[in-house]
Structure 1
């Protein structure tokens, strides 16, 4: 077995730590930071190092098991999402997220790629704003 084969076999093995991270992800629907997930694991009595949480989340994202997004501040956030290609509309205040499809974005991406001779193109798009509840709460507090 080559080192690459050994690494791949190790990456896919369902260790106690990976199972704990997967269960944590199943317990919420909003996007959370690796630090938040690590803290949740600690509250549950799960002993999983922060570096392991980061590695596990990255591998799960590469496998398509979780979505990652970067906030406007550059922080990476994670959650389980649907398997289809989609984008996110995210509330800046409470973190609520909605999966949205963007056919116009998809057409524009293909057109730009073709125009510049690019192939095998991928993209991500996150839209940030204030959700209805946060907007209402803000207006009520004014």
Structure 2
């Protein structure tokens, strides 16, 4: 059994679904890259590595992994979904518009602000995501 299968091969880790060959292959690709990748890029990496998997299957598996909290989903400025296996703690992302470099950041001030806004409007059990887009030092 591979490390991916040990860590992410259980039905709970696979979004409640059976850990298929394709799902495990998608998880392996995500583990092998630190940056966010589109479904098309993940599909191309799988095909290049010899996996026989359709793009629709990649999308379905990414959706299951996202629903299970196994991957983060980022919407790029042009609206495309990008995926990455991230840390399990709550965090936000700084994303370079030029090269796509992504840095995970914690934002205590953001957490306080979201809690205050929710309380002010009578909301509870809130969640949020935050991506900050800019140009990294290497691309400036």
Same fold (TM over 0.5): yes
Match of 2:28 among 23, 27, 49: 23
Q: Deviations over 1:72-123 (max 9, x none)?
A: 1111000110000000000001000000001111000000000000111111
Equivalent position of 1:14 in the other structure:
19
The answer to whether the aligner puts 1:54 opposite 2:50 as a matched pair is no
The answer to whether the aligner puts 1:96 opposite 2:101 as a matched pair is yes
1:33-44 correspondence runs (5 A): 33-44=38-49
Instruction: Give the CA deviation at 1:12.
Output: 2.1
CA contact (8 A) 2:15 2:64 kept: no
Q: Indicate the RMSD between aligned Cα atoms, in angstroms.
A: 1.6
Following the alignment from structure 1 to structure 2, what is the Cα–Cα distance between the partners of residues 93 and 14? 35
Equivalent position of 1:114 in the other structure:
119
- Judged with a 3 Å threshold, the aligned counterparts in structure 2 of structure 1 residues 10 and 83 are, in CA distance, closer, same or farther, namely closer
Paired residue secondary structure (1:99): strand
Please, which runs of 5 or more residues in structure 1 have no aligned partner? 1-7, 136-142
Runs of 4+ that moved beyond 6 A: none
Equivalent position of 1:139 in the other structure:
none
Following the alignment from structure 2 to structure 1, what is the Cα–Cα distance between the partners of residues 66 and 16? 13
Equivalent position of 1:83 in the other structure:
88
The answer to whether the aligner puts 1:133 opposite 2:138 as a matched pair is yes
TM-score relative to the length of structure 1 = 0.86
TM-score relative to the length of structure 2 = 0.87
Q: Deviations over 1:29-75 (max 9, x none)?
A: 10010000000001001011111111111111111111010011111
Paired residue secondary structure (2:95): strand
Instruction: Give the CA deviation at 1:11.
Output: 4.5
Higher helix share: 1
Please, which runs of 5 or more residues in structure 2 have no aligned partner? 1-11
